[in-house]
Amino acid sequence: MSRILVTGGAGYIGSHMCWELVGRGHEVLVIDDLSTGHESSLPPGAILLRGQVGSAEIAAMLAREHARSPLAGAMHFAAKARVDESVRLPDLYFAHNTQQTLALAGTLRDLDVPWFILSSTAAVYGNTSGDLIGEDHAVAPASPYGESKLRAEQGLRELFAKRGGSLAILRYFNVAGADPEMRTGQSTPEASHLIKLAAQTVVKMERAQEREPKAGATASASQMIIHGTDYPTPDGTCLRDYVHVMDIAGAHLAVMETLAKPREPRVYNVGYGKPYSVREVLACMREVSGVNFPIVEGPRRAGDVVRVACDSRRLQAETAWTPRFANLEVICKTALAWERRLAASTP
């Protein structure tokens, strides 16, 4: 069993990773500044170093921790991850996602921590063409968020080429759902993802119904807006490749196994290759919740890509990764179950 560094371990994806690692008997050291994460999302036994990944204080703490009990490797989830925010505050994104990532990786190379896995994103591809997007598809980020991640990827490649160590870059598609055991889920209140928003809408309507059970009382409580219904897709709405958060954690475990021996940097896309439209997702959430929330059709939103679907054949060929939750209904059900749980714990 190993000691593994998980940055951003108090956040959505990182907390699922921590629970999975601890469940397999690993020791987990977390760095998180709790800017969007929650300490309560961590599993028992995880050690939290609170601070920013690129800071001198964290570098000193890491050196002490590594001397006490060596780290086998690092999974780097900590980042700012909102496309809309990155358009307003690009410098914040380059500081957190690029500069701090490279500072952290430099510290870990100084300490000779053997491997590093970066959370990257399909946003590095920008406007994609073709049916399925493989790792060799051209990169052309359409947002400062995507650009900040691409620069981190490039900087890490240079660093590892010069200073040794194993590097893997995982580009996730649209991550959604929650741990089926409900140990953790997505708790970020201002999350902007479609499935999270739909689950929040259901829960708001259920709460309104509880407060005022008369017919019609829920109609105005909340609604979902479809941004654009005239895209060149079968139902006119955009298509996305939704991947269950537990399969993202599983991909890290599978990639980690390949990093035990030093190896060349590798990039892997993580998704299922079967995209769903906005209408299909909303219909599924209505179906699993039994709540017919109102759906309003609006104009297109700037920057939205028509179709995104992942080719994950490289990941499946080179690692033991097998998706276990590739089912939209399971994704919607677990996301909703977590949202209901969150609502039940908030007055």
Ligand X SMILES: NC(=O)c1ccc[n+]([C@@H]2O[C@H](COP(=O)([O-])OP(=O)(O)OC[C@H]3O[C@@H](n4cnc5c(N)ncnc54)[C@H](O)[C@@H]3O)[C@@H](O)[C@H]2O)c1
| In contact, 229 and 297? CB cutoff 8 Å | yes
User: In the bound complex, what is the minimum distance in angstroms from residue 92's beta carbon to ligand X?
Assistant: 10
Of 18-26, 168-176, 286-294, 325-333: span binding ligand X (CB under 6 A): 168-176
User: Judged by CB under 6 A, which stretch of 27-35, 124-132, 223-231, 304-312 contacts ligand X?
Assistant: 27-35
Q: What are phi and psi of 47, to 5 degrees?
A: -100, 125
- Specify the residue, 37 or 165, whose C-beta has the smaller distance to ligand X: 37
CA distance 31 to 48: 6
DSSP strand E in 174-306: where?
Answer: 174-176, 224-227, 239-240, 242-244, 266-270, 276-277, 295-298
CA distances from 9 to 13, 28, 33, 204 (A): 8, 9, 10, 28
Q: Which two tokens stand for residue 293?
A: 């929330």
Identify the bridge partners of residue 47 per DSSP, sorted by sequence position: 29
194: amino acid identity, one letter: L
Q: 250 to 279, contacts with ligand X by CB under 6 A?
A: none
Q: Phi/psi at 250 (nearest 5 deg)?
A: -60, -35
Q: And the tokens for 146?
A: 């995507």
Question: Given the rule CB under 6 A, which of 9-17, 64-72, 274-282, 299-307 is the region that contacts ligand X?
Answer: 9-17
184 binds ligand X (CB under 6 A): no
As measured in angstroms, the least distance from the Cβ of 57 to ligand X is 11
**Hey, which residues between 64 and 103 contact ligand X (CB under 6 A)?**
77-81, 96, 100
Give me the residue label for tokens 């896995």. Answer: 117
Which member of 145, 242, 272, 276 is catalytic?
145
d(CA 152, CA 161): 14
Sole window of 12-20, 217-225, 293-301, 302-310 interacting with ligand X (rule: CB under 6 A): 12-20
Give yes or no for residue 19 binding ligand X (CB under 6 A). no
The pattern of x and - marking residues 287 through 306 that bind ligand X according to CB under 6 A reads --------------------
Q: Tell me which amino acid residue 300 is.
A: R
Among 31, 132, 178, 255, binds ligand X (CB under 6 A): 31
Nearest residue (CB) to ligand X, 188 versus 209: 188
Q: How far is the CB of 175 from ligand X (least distance, A)?
A: 3
Q: Which is nearer to ligand X, 119 or 201 (by Cβ)?
A: 119
Q: Is 268 a catalytic residue?
A: no
The CA-based dihedral angle spanning residues 316, 320, 325, 331, taken in that order and rounded to the nearest 10 degrees: -70
In angstroms, rounded to a whole number, what is the distance separating the alpha carbons of residues 256 and 74?
9
Member of 33, 65, 153, 179 binding ligand X (CB under 6 A)? 33
The residue range among 33-41, 105-113, 293-301, 323-331 that interacts with ligand X, by the rule CB under 6 A, is 33-41
User: What mask of x and - would describe binding to ligand X in positions 110 to 149, judged by CB under 6 A?
Assistant: ---------x-x----------------------------
Kindly state the number of chain residues that form the binding site for ligand X, as judged by CB under 6 A.
Answer: 28
Distance of CA 7 to the CA centre of its chain: 13
Residue 31 structure tokens:
């760095």
Tell me the closest approach of the beta carbon of residue 112 to ligand X, in angstroms: 22
Whichever of 14 and 323 has its CB closer to ligand X, that residue is: 14
Q: Which is nearest to 315 in space by CA: 251, 248, 259?
A: 251
* DSSP run (H or E) holding 170: strand 166-172
Residues labelled catalytic: 145
Q: Which residues bind ligand X (CB under 6 A)?
A: 8, 10-14, 31-37, 52-53, 77-81, 96, 100, 119, 121, 172, 174-175, 188
